């Protein structure tokens, strides 16, 4: 449950403690990642994306400290702020932002750390594209893709960059609503494959979602955020029990109205 947070701090991957004001939301969160895949869950406007962007290096929090492994990424008291591109962190935002002048394959290899191994790099790119059901897309240009395809290329690009990370430790993968636009069947399939695949590469993930189904599908650790605060942390089944019940009731009500 939420109380166990402090006791497992010693073997945590990432610890975040931050205060930040964005618009009307006053963020004040503190949590630690211990599981290979953790989901930040909360309604829109609860500050999830700001937390992710702080870890990525695009937001300088008003106060706080972010530590990944032994690397201090942010410490407002000592003035440490590692620039985004120097962090052992790879992130994909909500919008795909594929570079329009590069093919899908060039996009996917943009952040690769294996430039000295061109053959392995190409093989990996094809493998990841295959994983995302984009096998025949390598030579296409972003303008010839649908919105959902772009989104998958964007995630594939960040995944390649994370697993080829050249530093002494593995990179942390940050995904903001990675599969929000996709249909549920495809999303569930991709999530399961991606989770297994990343486990083999020992790459930890922190993703953001407001979708109960996605959190359950992953069987991940869930950190629930509401009004800028962490309200609960634990396995999806525990933390999201109430949301699940409400969703089931909605589905049932919907089913009955269809029958009537």
Partner 1 sequence: MDFEALWLTLRLAGCTTAILLVAGLPLSWWIASGHGARRALVQAVVALPLVLPPTVLGYYLLVAMGPLTAPGRFLMRLFGHPLAFSFSGLLVGSVLYSLPFAVQPLVAGFGAVDRGYVEAAEGLGSSPWRTFWRVVLPMSRASLLTSLVLAFTHTVGEFGVVLMLGGNIPGATRTLSISLYDLVQDGNYGAANRTALVLLGFAMVALLAIYLLPSLRKMDGRQADVVR
Where are the alpha helices (H) located in the chain, listed in sequence order? 48-56, 104-109, 118-131, 147-163, 184-200, 212-218, 236-239, 241-259
Considering only 36, 45, 113, 219, the residue that binds partner 1 (CB under 8 A) is 113
User: Is residue 81 close enough to count as binding partner 1 by CB under 8 A?
Assistant: no
Q: Which one, 114 or 216, has the nearer CB to partner 1?
A: 114
Nearest CB to partner 1, comparing residues 90 and 224: 90
CA angle 206, 145, 159 (to 5 degrees): 25
Q: Which stretch binds partner 1 (CB under 8 A): 67-75, 87-95, 189-197, 203-211?
A: 87-95
Minimum CB distance to partner 1 smaller for 113 or for 234: 113
Mark residues 51-70: x for contact with partner 1 by CB under 8 A, - for none: -----xxx------------
List phi, psi (to 5°) of 258: -70, -40
DSSP per-residue codes, 41-110: E--TTSSHHHHHHHHHTS---SEEEEEETTEEEEETTTTEE--GGGSSEEEE-SS----TTS-HHHHHHT
Q: With H, G, I as helix, E, B as strand and everything else as coil, classify residue 29.
A: strand
- Considering only residues 1-60, where is the footprint of partner 1 by CB under 8 A? 56-58
Task: Give the count of residues interacting with partner 1 (CB under 8 A).
Answer: 30
- 110-118, 132-140, 215-223, 234-242 -> range binding partner 1 (CB under 8 A): 110-118
The binding site for partner 1 (CB under 8 A) comprises 56-58, 83-85, 89-93, 95-97, 99-101, 110-111, 113, 142-143, 147, 150, 154, 157-158, 161, 165, 174
């Amino acid at each position: 449950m939420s109380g166990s947070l402090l006791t497992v701090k010693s073997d945590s991957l990432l610890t975040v403690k931050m205060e930040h004001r964005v618009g009307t939301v006053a963020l004040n969160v503190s949590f630690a990642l211990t599981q290979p895949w953790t989901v930040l869950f909360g309604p829109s406007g609860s500050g999830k994306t700001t937390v992710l962007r702080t870890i990525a290096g695009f937001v300088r929090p008003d106060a706080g400290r972010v530590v990944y492994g032994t690397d201090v990424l942010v410490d407002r008291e000592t003035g440490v702020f590692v620039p985004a591109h120097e962090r052992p962190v790879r992130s994909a935002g909500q919008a795909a932002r594929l570079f329009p002048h590069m093919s899908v394959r060039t996009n996917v290899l943009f952040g690769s750390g294996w430039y000295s191994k061109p053959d392995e790099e190409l093989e990996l790119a094809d493998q990841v594209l295959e994983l995302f059901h984009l096998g025949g897309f390598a030579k296409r240009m972003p303008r010839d893709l649908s919105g959902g395809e772009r989104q998958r290329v964007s995630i594939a690009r960040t995944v390649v960059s994370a697993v080829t990370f050249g530093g002494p430790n593995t990179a942390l993968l940050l995904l903001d609503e990675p599969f929000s636009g996709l249909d549920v069947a495809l999303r569930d399939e991709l999530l399961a494959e991606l989770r297994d695949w990343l486990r083999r590469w020992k790459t930890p993930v922190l993703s953001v979602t407001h979708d109960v189904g996605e959190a359950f599908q992953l069987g991940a650790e869930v950190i629930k955020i509401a009004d800028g605060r962490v309200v609960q942390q634990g396995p999806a089944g525990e933390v999201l029990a109430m949301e699940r019940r409400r969703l089931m009731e909605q589905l049932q009500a919907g089913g009955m109205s269809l029958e009537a």
